[in-house]
Structure 1
Amino acid sequence: KGTSSFDDNRLIQLSLVGVKPGANGKGVVVVMKLRSLQGKPTTCYLWITLHKNAPATLGSIRPRIHKNRYCPDLCMASIHVARAIPRSQKPVMVTRKRPLPPRAP
């Protein structure tokens, strides 16, 4: 009664993974929370910027998350987000439609 611990309320995330688009619209930034520095909130986050192509980015995110023993749902969620970011950063090619020739009467 009256205890406020991690097991009771689950408000403090001990493991955290975030994937964001990189600066200038290029690359992917992976944010990970380090368990060893959880008592220091300002320095406990590790920011990794990846400027690779899409398959190489996914191939480098997956081992980093598994090596730090994050839960599998966080791993798959971050991979799905990382897969969508390079697609959204591609320039959109505008195709112009040619007007149809006039019909013969």
Structure 2
Amino acid sequence: MRIQLLKRASGYKPFLYNICQSDVCEYLEKRNHPFVNIIFNSFTNRTNVNRCPLPPEIILEHFRFPVKALELLPLPSGDYAIFITFSFDSEERALVKVYFTLTEYR
């Protein structure tokens, strides 16, 4: 599993986080990375990827990213993307792309 936070600046560029968790099952067992926890908890009730062994088909239904989940992070205003890539047997099997805009209100 790989999770990337990107910010738009002449295209989407890596920003702050680019996490490669070598084993999804290890993460699901320990859940010991704060940023991955924020992202994973946002869609955990909309997917069948909750424990190992992983199902043969990954399902993510009716997902709407809760941008409020990112309030814990020091992100300036701007356009962002989160890319989550699931790879199995050295092959990319699923890619989830979430795009959002953060705006500071005064």
Q: Which has the higher strand share?
A: 2
TM-score by length of 2: 0.28
Q: Which has the higher helix share?
A: 1
TM-score by length of 1: 0.28
Larger radius of gyration: 1
Q: Which has the higher contact order (CA 8 A, sep 6+)?
A: 2
